[in-house]
A and B are shown apart, each in its own frame.
Chain A
């Protein structure tokens, strides 16, 4: 399957709060960031932690403005996220 996102794309992270292990940190849930670059393809950690085969999918560096994560701050935080955690977002934050 081709990668869903490319550098520069605006993405919104999932708001789901799974009961299992996930690598989408809580502070980065439901936030809009921008894809910096592809970081390879790896089995989804959420699957592997549950003993499932784990679908291999794209992992991206996604950069967030601190204000979009915490409500304030002038720094940036780049998190490494599996494609499963991401949906396309309007860069202006206009998507519901």
Chain B
């Protein structure tokens, strides 16, 4: 298991060294790696995941299509998982009264950047990655999310090629809100499953 992705100057030095070698050998142009990373991150934002969630709340047909084939369904709201080198499979899971879902990548930090923006530091931390599979209820409580004892918790480990997104439960008292207003309620933590919405 790799260590914390942040604050490791040894890793940063190695990355810079490899980058310099790739440039020296003409395998990549100067600055190309940074440009590619910028391209990959461009447009990636939790606002995208929030739009998907809001549409799922107001349109049960969309919700069904989303849960059955997320890659096809998100095109209906103008989004795609094809921004990287290859289209990645998206698996969307929806919270219900009986079941709460939470996402982790125990092996590294896999995560749908296009829909959630760059991942938060805690998502990449060894503490979150190792503990949430073992004691999700305790970890969620530390995030301030206390679930009823009867609510089952499902942890999804992004250990291979799929990326995950959690559709939270629509909050009560939001009947009169527009789809756009509803999207404004959804947070990045909600999309990962470490917050209720």
Q: Residues of A with Cβ closer than 8 Å to B?
A: 23-25, 27-28, 39-40, 42, 45, 59, 61, 63, 66, 69-70, 73-82
Q: Would you give the shortest CB distance from B70 to chain A, in whole angstroms? A: 12
The one of A66, A73, A77 that contacts B157, using a Cβ cutoff of 8 Å: A77
Whether the Cβ atoms of B155 and A76 lie closer than 8 Å is yes
Interchain Cβ contacts under 8 Å between A and B, 8 examples: A25-B159, A39-B89, A39-B91, A70-B134, A75-B137, A75-B153, A78-B156, A79-B159
Whether the Cβ atoms of A74 and B160 lie closer than 8 Å is no
Given known contacts A39-B161, A45-B160, A80-B161, A61 and B153 CB-to-CB distance under 8 angstroms? no
Residues of chain A lying within 8 A (CB to CB) of residue B162:
39-40, 59, 61, 80
Q: Would you give the shortest CB distance from A75 to chain B, in whole angstroms? A: 4
Query: Known pairs A70-B134, A77-B155, A79-B157. 16 more at Cβ < 8 A?
Result: A23-B107, A23-B160, A27-B133, A27-B134, A28-B157, A39-B91, A39-B160, A40-B161, A42-B160, A59-B160, A69-B133, A74-B153, A75-B153, A80-B158, A81-B159, A82-B160
Whether the Cβ atoms of B154 and A25 lie closer than 8 Å is no
State in angstroms the CA–CA spacing of A39 and B160 once bound together.
Answer: 9
B95 close to chain A: CB less than 8 A: no
Whether the Cβ atoms of B152 and A25 lie closer than 8 Å is no
B109 close to chain A: CB less than 8 A: no
B44 close to chain A: CB less than 8 A: no
B53 close to chain A: CB less than 8 A: no
The 10 closest A-B pairs by CB, nearest first: A80-B160, A75-B153, A77-B155, A79-B157, A80-B159, A76-B154, A42-B161, A78-B156, A23-B159, A39-B162
